[in-house]
Structure 1
């Protein structure tokens, strides 16, 4: 763990810094964050993908409450497909992650009332350091000619699957070029399912999990089969 979870990085990219509102469909973000939590567990060596399912390989807690709750659920259950797990985990996950970011002073919880009785929460950025680091790592990966570390490559893969180029402030030709580079990173890292495990530059166990989850999220969003 780096102190900043993949799901938190994904959420910060997806929320507008000033308005504190999500800039992408919430179901897309929820599925992406569920996949990010599972990828985090794979990076920590706690789960693996085999025979079409995700299963716990090491139930030892990581020390991160959200990860450990998910790990306990996976360890106590029978193996399920990546598609099943992202659907099971997406409900309520965003609110819990937002709560953690608020508690740490990364974002603010602005509670407003609309039409006199409807409470609407916004989460404008309070501490830019975390998101700046995330964007900096992505920018370096996009500009560089080498594959980034496992965590950044996994993040790039999720950004590509979720079509988050607009969240990076890109449109038109720049967005298309960025998407091509994101997919290139995923492919060379072995996360697209198109590179053999022997040629992957990251751990095979992680490659299998990320590739399976990327396909599951893509299928859930109905973008590709």
Structure 2
């Protein structure tokens, strides 16, 4: 089973297995997708922060068409802050990642376009749940505090909290409240939420800086939590 990228992990969680519909705010999910792409590039050593700007550290292709296109776009442009890149990248990105997941057999594309093509509707139910099972197992271990999350899991947990995607965890209201608190604890422990210094972070400082900036940008874009 070939691994999937962080934005793909986020989408696998966001889309209901049976109905194939996205859970939560579409704007939040699109911002999360853009952030996840940037985090993935940071995790593989391609992006870093410099003077509050996202900059390319290494422009060598990763080998993933979507990641490489974003990397090339950032490399060819002048430096911009994390909030700017979220807005520049979020439009149309989700469709590209969904198409990639369909091609890889992770989800199915159920086309329910109606009225002669006037109303475009696609659902994306699960086709291969092995990926999602692995993701949810990692998150479950992190949420129960049984293990210290690795960088990728801590990053995913931080993005779930920032984009307010706790409903995708399929928990009751009381458990969801506890999960939100634990997600924020993971973010803080990783240095993503400002709870600890970079020196105390469980994650590489260079990664923490990128995700902290993206998390703040998402929160500002979405406004106060209800």
Specify the TM-score bucket, using the shorter chain as the normaliser: over 0.9
Residues 160-201 of structure 1 show CA distances to partners (whole Å, capped at 9, x for unaligned) of 111111111123211111111111011111111231111111
Contact in 1 for aligned 2:55/2:74 (Cα 8 Å): yes
Distance 2:21 2:150 in 1: 30
2:176 corresponds to which residue? 175
Distance 2:37 2:46 in 1: 11
1:85 corresponds to which residue? 85
- SS at structure 1 position matched to 2:192: coil
| TM-score under structure 1 length normalisation | 0.95
> Once the 2 structures are TM-superposed, how far is the Cα of residue 116 of structure 1 from its aligned partner?
5.4
Distance 1:69 1:186 in 2: 28
How many residues matched? Answer: 223
Alpha-carbon RMSD: 1.3
| TM-score under structure 2 length normalisation | 0.95
Distance 2:151 2:224 in 1: 25
Contact in 2 for aligned 1:147/1:189 (Cα 8 Å): no
Q: Which deviates further from its counterpart, 84-93 or 138-147?
A: 138-147
1:136 pairs with 2:162: no
1:17 pairs with 2:20: no
- Structure 1 residue runs of 5 or longer lacking an equivalent are none
> Once the 2 structures are TM-superposed, how far is the Cα of residue 122 of structure 1 from its aligned partner?
0.7
Contact in 2 for aligned 1:147/1:188 (Cα 8 Å): no
Deviation above 3 Å: which 4+ runs of structure 1? 113-117
